[in-house]
């Protein structure tokens, strides 16, 4: 679950809790966003939990839910303020609604995050040849997809 506050921060929570044992949701990551906290903001989190998208006015910003850093920004998405932002079920696309239109964008920051996460996994699995080969192939596939989108 992700929330955004008027103090200019966003938070991602772990919601896999057992309330019968007295557990509460805990904050996994918190960050500040580069927008006007007095304006209406809409937040969405990717299905893999690695990326947060914040829509404000006509701009969408992508933040890593791992590092908290700004990963990308698209301005003037619509001619009127954005009314909805969401990720598709595969995480490949980000959809926005506003000015009676829907816009669909490739989730480029998500692909970049996936490459970085795979590289970290690769470093932990250097001694396991089969895992190393599989992860290197996954990195190549994601990089090829990213290259096609950015070409």
pLDDT of residue 144: 97
Contact 16, 40 (CB under 8 A): no
Whose structure tokens read 């470093």? Answer: 123
pLDDT of residue 138: 96
Q: What does pLDDT average to in each consecutive run of 10 residues of the chain (151 residues)?
A: 91 88 88 87 93 96 92 95 96 95 96 91 90 95 96 90
> How far is residue 37's CA from residue 17's CA, in Å, rounded to a whole number?
30
Angle between helices 129-150 and 108-124 in degrees, nearest 10: 160
Helix (H) or strand (E) holding 112: helix 108-124
């Amino acid at each position: 679950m992700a929330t955004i506050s008027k103090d200019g921060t966003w938070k991602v929570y772990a919601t896999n809790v057992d309330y019968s044992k007295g557990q509460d949701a805990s904050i996994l990551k918190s960050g500040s966003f580069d927008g006007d906290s007095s304006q209406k903001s809409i937040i969405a989190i990717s299905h893999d939990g690695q990326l947060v998208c914040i829509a404000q006015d006509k701009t969408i910003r992508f933040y890593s839910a791992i590092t908290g850093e700004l990963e990308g920004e698209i301005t003037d998405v619509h001619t009127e303020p954005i009314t909805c932002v969401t990720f598709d079920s595969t995480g490949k696309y980000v959809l926005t609604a506003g000015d009676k239109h829907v816009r669909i964008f490739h989730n480029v920051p998500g692909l970049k995050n996936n490459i970085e996460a795979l590289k970290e996994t690769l470093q932990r699995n250097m001694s396991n040849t089969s895992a190393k080969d599989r992860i290197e192939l996954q990195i190549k596939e994601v990089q090829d997809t990213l290259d096609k989108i950015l070409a």
